[in-house]
Amino acid sequence: MTESAITIEGLHFSYGKKQVLKGVNLEVPKGSIFGFLGRNGTGKTTTIKTLLGLQKPRAGRCIIGGLDSFTETLEVRRRIGFMAEDQQMYGWMTISRIIKWVAGFYPDWDYKFADELAAMLGLPKNTKVKALSKGQNSSLALLLALGHRPDIVILDDPTLGLDPIARKDFLRHVIELLQSNGVTVFFSSHLLYEIEPVADHIAILDKGVIIKASRTEQLRESVRKFVLTPKPEANFSGFAGILDVLKVGDNVSITVEDCNEEKRSLIKGMSINSMTEVALNLDEIFEAYVIGNRGRELSV
């Protein structure tokens, strides 16, 4: 069994009467790059804040590197690197000053490594933070998250606000850096094409619950779309694993999860003639999970 870097068990959280997390359960394997997907406002940042011990859950617990993030908060924060979405730092500080300031919080800060990172990310050390571009700002935040060589890195929508080129550039740096060090990366985003090339595991959060967690490749293999012309007597209502059904003229496209040979032959049996099987990208899979109609609107 794979060892977990992060374990979330039955996490519930509310802002006043509004319940944001409704029992989130998640295992992040050690050494993985874990994509945490969800639409805006589904609770990704709330989950991460709770994970960092910044807010107290109503129920449930988070274990990071074997430590409870709420009772052993400081130790957890020493061991992880965190980069928040659209992170703002002290504008009046120079890069070298803010590195020194952040280093003061970590007993094992690696100044040499931080210098290497600054050089690699192209950060001019005497420049004031307020003078940095958005891309440089994100790079600096990344540097400050990694300077103490953490085992686990949590990135909350790190490329928010960057242009497409800067995003790709930034991600390339991140992945290069982290993969080479065997670090576990927990990476939240709503931009799926960003996660697809880098994440080896993903979880989809929707309306406060995890609706799917799997290896990325496995997910791609198991979710399929079939386009067919159904027989008049075809009945999809009892069919397990339908994520989305779309009727276009005489044809129907059906997106199915956990697809195997048995399901394929069942669907084929309902078709008048031959059917087409389509492999989906992560974007389409996410869409099927999050806004798919589960066959409820099916009227064949």
Partner 1 sequence: MRVSGIIHQQICQLKLHLLACLGLIMVLPVEEAVVNLKAGDGFFSTNMTFPAIMFGPLLAGLIACANVQGDLNEKRYIFWRSKPANVKLLITLKFFIGLVASLLIIACPVVFSLVTNTFWNEEGIERAFFEYYVPLPILIAIMTYSLCFACNVVVRKTARAWLIGMLIGCFLLVLPFILPLDFKDFVSDVMIWSWGPYLAILLATPAAAFVFALYAAKHDWHLKTNLKVLLWVGAGLAFLLLMLFSSQVANIKVLQEKEIEISRGWQTLNYAGNRIVYRDQSYIDTEKNTISLSEIKSIGNEVEPSYKLAPRPWLKGYRLSSYPRYGKFLYKDTKSGLFSFSIHAYYRVEGKGPSQKRFYEKVYLRSYKHTGETWMPVCELDISECLTDKINPYLRAAMRIIDNRLVAAINDSLIVVDVTNPGELKLFDKKFDILKKYRPFTYKDRKEEFSIPLVPIEGIELGERIRLSIDLNYNFHYGDNNIYESSIVDVQDRKFSFFCANYDGVVRFDVIRWDDEKIYCKYSSSRPFTILESMTGAIDFNNDNFVKNGKFYCRNDHTLMVFDIRSNRRIRKLGHFVRMDYDIEDIAVLEDGDILLSVGWNTEFLKRSYARKYYLYLLKNPE
Q: Which residues contact partner 1 by CB under 8 A?
A: 49, 52, 54-55, 74-75, 77-78, 82, 84, 86-90, 92-93, 100-106, 141
Q: How far apart are CA 209 and CA 243, in angstroms?
A: 17
Closest CA to 44 of 177, 181, 203: 203
Q: How far apart are CA 187 and CA 181, in angstroms?
A: 16
Q: Which is nearer to partner 1, 78 or 190 (CB)?
A: 78
Least CB distance to partner 1 at residue 163 (A): 20
Q: Which is nearer to partner 1, 148 or 225 (CB)?
A: 148
Q: Which is nearer to partner 1, 47 or 255 (CB)?
A: 47
Q: Which is nearer to partner 1, 149 or 247 (CB)?
A: 149
Closest CA to 160 of 50, 45, 49, 80: 45
DSSP 177: H
Q: Which is nearer to partner 1, 106 or 239 (CB)?
A: 106
Least CB distance to partner 1 at residue 50 (A): 12
Least CB distance to partner 1 at residue 33 (A): 20
Residue type, 251: N
Q: Which is nearer to partner 1, 30 or 78 (CB)?
A: 78
3-state secondary structure of 179: helix
Least CB distance to partner 1 at residue 63 (A): 17
Least CB distance to partner 1 at residue 6 (A): 15
Q: How far apart are CA 187 and CA 184, in angstroms?
A: 10
Q: How far apart are CA 298 and CA 265, in angstroms?
A: 20
Q: How far apart are CA 156 and CA 35, in angstroms?
A: 10
Our measurement of the distance from residue 94's CA atom to the centroid of its chain's CA atoms, rounded to an integer in Å, reads 32
Q: Which two tokens stand for residue 33?
A: 């790059």
Least CB distance to partner 1 at residue 86 (A): 6
Q: Which two tokens stand for residue 131?
A: 């003078």
